[in-house]
Each structure stands twice: as C-alpha cells, then as structure tokens.
Amino acid sequence: MTVMSYDVNRRRVIAVAAELFARNGYHGTGIAELGRAAGLGRGALYHYIGSKEAVLYAISKDQVDSMNAAAEEVLDSGLPADELLREMARVLVRNISDHRSEWAVFFREYQALTGERRDAVVAARERYEGYWRQALDQGVRSGVLRPTPRLLVKGMLGMLNYTYLWFTPDGDLSPEELADLFLDALIDGIRR
C-alpha cells in the first residue's frame, strides 16, 4: 500500500468517525460500529486510527490546526484591523459550514481526550483565540476600535462557533454573508 492510499483511507475513516460521533456521540459509538460503517475489520480499522481516542484527537486537532493556519494567513495579509476580523469570521463560518460533523464532535466531545492529546487540543484552541485577540488589539492600536475586555474574544467566537448547531449553507445566506452580518453588529458596537 502506498503512503498516498494509506492517507486517503485514513482520512475516509476519520470522516466516517466524525459523522458517527456527531450523530451518536463519542461514547455512544463503538469500534465495531465504526468498522462496519467504514467497511473495515477491526485490524484494518486500528491500522488507520490506532485507537478510538486517536481518531477523536485527529478530528479535533485537524480542525483547530486548519483554523490556526488560516488565521495566521489572514493576520499576515496586511488588511486593516476591522477587515482582519471580518475575514477571520468569514473563514471560520465557512469552515464550520463545510465541516459541521467535525465541529460538532470538537465542541461536544473534545473533553473526552486525555493527557497530552487534550493538552494539545486546548493549546491549539487557545492559540486560535490569541489570533483574534491580536486582531482586536491591532484595531485598538490603529484607533479603529475601542479597547475591549479580554473575554470579548470568547463571546465573539461563541457567536460564530455555535453556527454548527443551526446554520445551513443552502439557506438564504452564505457562510460569508452570515459572518458579515455578525461582524457588522459586533464592529459597530466596538468602533471608536
């Protein structure tokens, strides 16, 4: 088996696991059920995921790492601070819209991770929050935004993150349009 086919199969197993964990919960999904849904026996399944916790870790960490990379790219773009926040929101809501199952698993189940895996996911999540704080701080330094409490980042992200519960991309608004509506309300509230 080539490395490429291993990676493709592993991503497929992780996607199947995300769907099952989102629907039934991490603790409500057994390895046998995951194997059946992925069309793999127990040995082949463990070959791709190692353990049930390892697949939960992959689902959770992959999404947060993806958002950290996107936030770094946006922060390096040279956009004005209010546009940085807007673009970060657009990217986040689009990612949540495109990966609803993975985000449902992340938000509901990452606490089931233990030890270093949990620590790594929490650290990655905190790093992401830090990028939002950087964008807000840049807005304050540039005089576009007024100073805000540190907890505002958690509130902003909560507003955007929980779209996984109710937003459907085939509705009246695109993910980007929804992010813009949220950011218009937020930025107008903190504009200097």
* Domain ranges within the chain, ordered by starting residue: 1-50, 53-188
The CATH code that applies to domain 1-50 is 1.10.10.60
Predicted TM-score (pTM) above 0.75 = yes
pLDDT score for 49: 87
- Which of the four pLDDT bands, split at 50, 70 and 90, describes residue 121? very high
Helix/strand/coil for 145: strand
Specify whether the CB–CB gap between 117 and 57 falls below 8 A. Answer: yes
Closest CA to 158 of 137, 191, 129: 129
Q: How far is CA 129 from CA 37, 48, 101, 157, in A?
A: 35, 31, 21, 8
pLDDT score for 44: 86
pLDDT score for 22: 96
Q: CA-CA distance, 34 to 30, in Å (whole number)?
A: 6
- Which of the four pLDDT bands, split at 50, 70 and 90, describes residue 7? confident
The CATH code that applies to domain 53-188 is 1.10.357.10
pLDDT tens-digit readout, 139-157: 999 999 889 888 889 999 9
Average pLDDT over the chain, rounded to an integer: 92
pLDDT score for 192: 66
Closest CA to 112 of 159, 69, 60: 60
79 Cβ contact partners less than 8 Å away, ≥ 6 residues apart: 87
pLDDT score of 1 more than 70: no
pLDDT tens-digit readout, 29-62: 999 999 999 998 888 888 888 899 999 999 999 9
pLDDT score of 181 more than 80: yes
Range scoring the smallest mean pLDDT among 5-14, 95-104, 157-166: 5-14
